[in-house]
Amino acid sequence: MVPTENQDSTRRAPQVCSHCKSIKKGCDKKLPSCTSCIKRRAVCRYGEPDQERRSRSENGSPSGAHERLAPTWASIPRHLRSRFSPSIRLSILLSNSLSDVLPSSLSESSASPAFTNTDSVVNAQVMLIIGVGGRKPEEVALRYFRGVHTWLPIISRRRFRDRYEHFQTSPAADFSVLLLAMRLITQHPSVDPEADQDREVLYLATKTLFAQVQAFMPSSLFLVQAGVIIGHYEHAHGMIEAAYVTVGTCGRMACAIGMHTKQCSSEMQGTDTWAEDEEVLCTWWGLMILDRVIGCDPQMHGRPFATRPIREDDYLPLESYDLDRDVDEMLEPTFRYFVSATSLPGVGTFGREAQATYLFDRVRLAIESGDAIAHNLYHIGRDLQNLLSVVMEQVAGRVGIYCGAMQMLITGLYNLHQAVHMHPDFDNQFNYKDTTEAALSTLTRMVLDIAYAFNRECGNVNIEILQPALAHIVRCAQQHILTAEDFNDPSWLEDFDQLRKMLAYFNRRWVLAGMELHRLNETVEISMALRM
């Protein structure tokens, strides 16, 4: 029998389910779906139009990455972003940054292999995060070297300039993270809560990418430098536990690439090898100093350092002007002094901070040894006082220089004399306790004088170069409160107000100062209540 036209049409075009693509058997022709799909309405809703649920481009791929990841960071008003938790804001920011590196179709055979390259992906994310605040990488570097670099000279400006030119054509993940860390530490706190929340997200993004790159790539000088910068940021913003972990990570990375045994360079000055050797040595000193700065915090009492003890034959680091200068001709390497040469004249700010940190290490070892306090007190105290006197002469009344060295020296003297003063078995026949009480009073008066001088000149201080050196100020304030005989004494109140005023100014740059100021005010209130 010859099939009819209707029968032939039915055989040539069987009914196919528009959802599961199976041949429909026994279906109602009015329905676009098969019987099995109708029973699974949660997955395949038979009443929907016969079309894809998601829009697709002409080649069948999903629409652009920006549409898939919408809403973007910039499209969300700031007052709405502030309602999200930090983790949500971070996820939106990082997802938005990935949309710039992902191709419109991941299945395209012509997609560049750079899309699967860690260096390119991290670089694209960092560039977007830096650009969110309207900044450019060149502006970030310029601001960093004009500010933070003056008290943290661990990066050679000349080598950074050369590497950045190469970086623009050949991105590197670790260098990208270093740029982001520089962007982070140059960001000031804000009285606007919404703007300050953006700074918090910037910190979380920096930490996240730092951890990711560390997981994907071997340790490098760039990663150690980025970690030192992040650690300073965390400490200066009151995140002491995070700073302790960060400096520990940096210490391990530095040892992994041999930085802990690096000497000053014996190569001809001006060569690339010379510059690299000296930059490594400066970075190692920056890490050791940060380790001790974090160790000044009372919460870190009893915890081990992340770096080895400072040796008396460790070489002094170069100053920033020596590390950064362009050398027209090759020169023989100059004679370098050990860090223990504390009587050496003409040492710069970084070298003096290294020497002060070396003496701070000696104080810590003396305190931990217990019995050695009596034997070492005179020699260590004399060295601390002599170097402090030299540094004060170099300061010559100027504000904002040698802050790191002064913090270490004064804090070391406080720690040493307080340990002796509180030692239960100390021999009183030498009147050491009376001597230490007088020394603590002298130190407190010295810091108070510094506070008066700073507050008079703070209007002329460039806040960009303000170093987060706070430990000696806080220690002085605590001692001032402890020895107060009358909290209503006008002279006592004026002295304490000067300390509070100095911390309030530091709070404009570093959040930790405001946190310490709040604690001191609470301590005064409690002390006054107990004496009533």
Least confident among 135-149, 372-386, 422-436: 422-436
Average pLDDT on 176-198 reads 91
56: which strand partners?
62
d(CA 194, CA 59): 42
Mean pLDDT (whole number) for 28-54? 43
pLDDT score at 329: 62
For residue 59, the model assigns a pLDDT of 42
What are the boundaries of each domain within the chain?
1-51, 363-532
Residue 387's pLDDT is: 97
Residue 231 and residue 294: Cα distance in Å, rounded?
9
Return the CA Rg of the chain: 32
Greater confidence (36 vs 367) lies with 367
Preceding amide of 153 cis, omega within 30: no
pLDDT class for 328, splitting at 50, 70, 90?
Answer: low
The whole-number pLDDT of residue 116 equals 61
Confidence bin at 112 (pLDDT 50/70/90): low
DSSP state letters, 200-215: HHHHHHHHHHHHHHHH
Phi first, then psi, for residue 151 (nearest 5°) are -115, -5
Mean pLDDT of all residues in 2-24:
49
pLDDT of residue 211: 95
pLDDT in the model for residue 532:
66
Average pLDDT, the chain: 82
Q: Which two tokens stand for residue 438?
A: 């007088």
Higher-confidence residue of 132 and 106: namely 132
Q: Cα(470)–Cα(307) distance, rounded to whole angstroms?
A: 22
Mean pLDDT, residues 400-426: 85
Residue with the bigger pLDDT between 132 and 87: it is 132
Classify residue 245 as exposed, middle or buried by CB count within 10 Å of its CB (0-12, 13-18, 19+): middle
Task: Please name which of 98, 93, 185, 164 lies closest in space to residue 132, comparing C-alpha atoms.
Answer: 93
Q: What type of residue is 171?
A: P
Q: Which two tokens stand for residue 526?
A: 């409690």
Q: Up-side HSE of residue 59: CA atoms within 13 Å toward CB?
A: 8
Structure confidence at residue 71 (pLDDT): 52
Q: Does residue 172 register a pLDDT over 60?
A: yes
> For the chain, how long is the longest CA-to-CA vector?
130
Res 379: pLDDT: 86
Confidence tier at 56 by pLDDT (50, 70, 90): very low
Cα(491)–Cα(479) distance, rounded to whole angstroms?
Answer: 15
Which residues fall within 8 angstroms of residue 171, CB to CB, at 6 or more apart?
Answer: 119, 120, 122, 123
pLDDT band at 19 (very low <50, low <70, confident <90, very high): very low
Band of pLDDT at residue 315, cut at 50, 70 and 90 = very high
Residue that wins the pLDDT comparison between 233 and 131: 233
Examine the pLDDT at 467 and tell me if it is beyond 60: yes
> Is 7's pLDDT higher than 90?
no
Q: Which residue has the higher pLDDT, 352 or 25?
A: 352
The closest alpha carbon to 106, from 136, 138, 65, belongs to 65
DSSP state for residue 102 in the 8-state scheme? S
Distance of CA 231 to the CA centre of its chain: 4
The predicted structure's pLDDT at residue 269: 87
Q: pLDDT-derived band of residue 330, with 50, 70 and 90 as boundaries?
A: low
Q: Round to whole Å and give the CA distance between 440 and 418.
A: 8
**144 near 186, Cβ under 8 Å?**
yes
484 pLDDT higher than 90: no
Tokens of 463: 């806040």
Of the two residues 316 and 431, the one the predictor is more confident about is 316
Residue found by looking up tokens 């001088």 in the block: 453
Q: What is the DSSP string of 39-56?
A: HTTTTS-TTS-SS-SS-B
Decide if pLDDT at 238 tops 80. Answer: yes
- Identify whether the C-beta of residue 152 lies closer than 8 Å to the C-beta of residue 146: no
Question: In one letter, which amino acid is 117?
Answer: N
How confident is the model over 284-299, as pLDDT tens digits? Answer: 999 999 999 999 998 9
Residues 471, 510 contacting (CB under 8 angstroms): no
DSSP 130-173: HHHTT--HHHHHHHHHHTGGGT---S-HHHHHHHHHHHTTS--H
